[in-house]
Amino acid sequence: MNDPAKIEEFLSKIKLTGKGFTTDCLLLEVYEAGLDYPDFLKAEGEDPDASYGGKTPAWAKYHMRQGKRVFMVYGGEGRGRRSHFSETP
């Protein structure tokens, strides 16, 4: 997905529970990581501890980018979820 408005709408509906990294709204975590206008999103996999608009399961992996800033969330069934931020030179 490459439309910033659609990405923000999508991320605002993601809730992550379970082990490791959790949030009631993934969009707020993306903002906290410094991506205030994400222009790329890739979501894949399936995680029963993730929900989209209140429905489970949702995706297990999220890769968001804004320019050279990248914020990733990895997890899945039976594994603790973690997040990672990087900025390429």
Q: Tell me: the pLDDT tens digits for 36-57?
A: 999 999 999 999 999 999 999 9
Res 87: pLDDT: 92
- 3 in Cβ contact with 40 (< 8 Å): no
- Let me know how many helices (H) and strands (E) the chain has, helices first: 2, 6
pTM: 0.91
R_g of the chain computed on alpha carbons: 12
Query: Token pair of 43, please?
Result: 């979501």
Query: Token pair of 9, please?
Result: 């709408």
Res 89: pLDDT: 78
Q: Domain of 55? A: 4-87
Query: Cis bond leading into 57, ω under 30°?
Result: yes
Number of domains in the chain: 1
